[in-house]
Chains A and B, each alone.
Chain A
Amino acid sequence: MELGGVIAYIVSLVIMASIYAVFCLGLNIQWGYTGLFNIGIAGFFCIGAYTSAMVTMPMPGGVLAKYVHQLFGLNLPFVFGLLGAALVCGLVALIIGVPTLRLNEDYLAIATLGIAETFRLIFNNERWLANGPQGLMGLPQPLHKLIGERHYDFVYLGIVLAVMLLIYLLIERGIRSPWGRVLRAIREDEISAAASGKNVFRFKMQSLVFGSMVMGVGGALYAHYTKAISPDVFTPLYGTFIIWVMLMAGGSGNNKGAILGAYAIWGIWIGSDFLMDMLPAVIRDKGPYLRFLVVGVLLEVILVYRPQGILGEEKKVSKLMDS
């Protein structure tokens, strides 16, 4: 591969890692700071991606209308796609939160898992909604006219990094505020937080909704990068499990850790792909399964031997106070 190809490859790798970092940041709000167990990230991934697609795409016209069905097509700019994705994901989180957040942590997990599977089924079966299993293609990309197709990835990398940084700063700010301290208090001990006069249910709900909105933005960023989405992308493996491993590896309760985990695990993931090429063909066919097997074992090792992850939680709780 010549140098240009290598650079292009690295850029695409960093874009995907950064998109995963956005998911990790969203999950970090829920799990890292509040202790909410969301194992339906793929659901918010899916909803975010589809919402942004339909907000930014026009309604199919002419001959295309015969073959492509979608509920709506607003033809709005990219920014509205991101906002729409966040909004819809926030609403879905609100609906799941109402019955589950008053109960044991595990109920939220089961409910989010159910939402993820249900939405995948709905998008697969209902052609009128978003073209069924074929999915949507030809999503618009922001600032695409400014620069040619050849170097567009550099522009998109800039956009993804900017969004990631913005979300990072937003969460850092929130988490160092009194609001963030209540979230951590709830995570550590719900009953004493309630005894201190905090409405535990409301704070949990805010955390769930905020985190899910961030995940929705991640889904939108993904959709406009690949330009084509279909329901089979949002599987529990790529959409939920790997994100959990990233956060646990990087360090839950630490936003830098969330980003680091995403880059590290995605790097290992892509790197192991090259390793697979060196193996004999019999094993190579099983490549994807083997890699997920290794990632699964990695998660167990982290849980048993280093549950705090690489970075661990920062002790600093307020910008006004030295740790």
Chain B
Amino acid sequence: MVELVVYGVVLGSVIALGAIGITLVYGIVRLANFAHGEFMTAGAYLALLVVTVVLPWLGVPDGTFGPLSFGVRMLVAFPLCMGVVAGMAVLIDRLLYRKLRLKNSGPVILAMASLGISFIIRMLILIIWGADYRFYRPGVLRPAMDLPLGIKIRPDQVFIIATVLVLVVLLHLFLQKTRMGKAMRATADNTELALISGIDTEAIVMWTWGIGGGLAAAAGILYGIDVQLHPGMGWNFLIPLFAAAILGGIGNMYGALVGGLVIGIAEQVSTAWLTPTYKLAVAFMIMILILFVRPQGIFGERSR
């Protein structure tokens, strides 16, 4: 049981990274981004491309770091792919969402456009990589370490939790200390007031997409390291991501972090009684429950 909770924290930290992006984009751009899962998939597959094709071609050697299942190549690919997906998210906004915003298309039209983007990205991945499951390093043994209380955990999973922690702290510092971060929080709280105060909302929108896209890519790669890659992986994360974002209160980054952990732990613990394929349904049920009891989320205050 304790072991399931620990695995839940691993899964939950991946969900949290994605959910933070969802909640920021929803809070600031006012868009329910149904393509967010595909940002994760795109990040994971781009990293596969860099690790297995680009870096070997450049002659970058690959070892493994101690007990971890990856080496230098992944360390290069990780930030690189975060940057690429961040750029991709900004580009999609410029080419599509911004046009729709300027035409005053309602929020639902934008959400529908994001649904279209999600299918477009997924189809591109299927065309390039095919529908099979992939691994960053096929055939590598990944032994587990023994912790007290009989918990078995793989070194990769410790790395995942640590990486998420670092990224969240960095984002926290960005939002609290920098001018842009403060402007972002102000816009999330009250867009009109932010506009009147002379905040450049278009710049904020771009930063939001960049951060959301980058974190999603990180989440996708970490999930790929922990489990495997599949073109449908991001789509399957969509419900847990929204569940986490709603649970924590839309627009609230810290809420999304807690929400992600709660959803992740609930999904893993449920496997004690349910088939693991039902994880997604568990996340969905929690979301419906929250919508019934407290639609503004645990930390949400804004009332509609």
Contacts and interface: CB of A to CB of B under 8 A. Distances in A.
Contacts of B108: 35, 37, 105-106, 109
A121 B277 contact: yes
Interface in B239-282: 239, 242, 246, 275, 277-278, 280-281
B193 to A, nearest CB: 20
B116 A296 contact: yes
Contact of A113 (B116, B238, B278, B304): B238
Given A121-B281, A289-B127, A300-B117, A100 B32 contact: no
Contacts of A296: 116-117, 119-120, 123
Contacts of B190: none
A7 interface: no
Contacts of A279: none
B199 interface: no
B116 A292 contact: no
Contact of A293 (B96, B99, B120, B288): B120
A162 interface: no
B39 interface: no
Contacts of B117: 296, 300
Interface of B, helix, strand, loop or mixed by DSSP: helix
A299 B117 CA distance: 9
A37 B123 contact: no
Nearest to B238: A113
Of B96, B111, B119, B304, which is in contact with the most chain A CB atoms at under 10 Å from its CB? B119
B277 A124 contact: yes
Contact of B116 (A106, A118, A300): A300
A118 B113 contact: no
Interface string A287-307: 001101101110110011001
B45 interface: no
A114 interface: yes
Contacts of A125: 275, 277-278
A39 interface: yes
B173 interface: no
Given A104-B304, A244-B115, A300-B117, A114 B239 contact: yes
List the 3 closest pairs (A to B, CB-CB), nearest first: A106-B32, A114-B284, A293-B123
